[in-house]
Amino acid sequence: MSRRVIRVNSWEKFKRLLIEHNVREMAYNIEMGVPARHLTALRLILPIGNVQYVFIDTASGRKLRRTGIPLSEDDMGNMYIKDEDVVSFIKSEIGGKEIRLYSYWSM
């Protein structure tokens, strides 16, 4: 069986996939952005059949460039994305439909 990974470059296209396929589960990863000490990049992963759709968003100022998810700052000045902000954003964008989001870490 052949599996493919397709990068989706716009939030609107990714959102359309979520809605059209009535997605019930998806994964996301909060990653290091630039500078590397900050966790300011977001990867959304949507598996549909044999295809894995991936959407990547990075920081611009104090929010993510494409989704507008706000960045938080810890006591040491490190910027990061809160899990609850990701979950809240996704649920609000798909009209409150039931969806489970799973966070994962990779090294």
Query: What is the rounded distance in angstroms from the CA atom of residue 66 to the CA atom of residue 75?
Result: 26
Q: For 37-53, write each residue's pLDDT tens digit.
A: 778 899 999 999 899 99
Q: Which domain holds residue 40?
A: 4-103
Q: Which residues, at least 6 apart from 51, have a Cβ–Cβ distance to it below 8 Å?
A: 3, 4, 5, 6
**pTM, rounded to two decimals:** 0.88
pLDDT of 2 > 70? The answer is: no
Query: What is the rounded distance in angstroms from the CA atom of residue 89 to the CA atom of residue 51?
Result: 24
pLDDT of 107 > 60? The answer is: no
Q: For residue 22, what are its two tokens?
A: 């009535």
Residue with the larger pLDDT of the pair 104 and 34: 104
Tell me if 69 sits within 8 A of 75, measured CB to CB.
Answer: no
Number of domains observed in the structure of the chain: 1
Q: For 49-100, write each residue's pLDDT tens digit.
A: 899 999 999 998 899 999 999 999 999 988 899 999 999 999 999 987 789 9
Average pLDDT for residues 12-23, to the nearest whole number? 94
**Torsion over CA: 91, 51, 6, 106 (sign):** positive
Reported confidence tier of residue 3, pLDDT bands at 50, 70, 90 = confident
Average pLDDT for residues 24-28, to the nearest whole number? 93
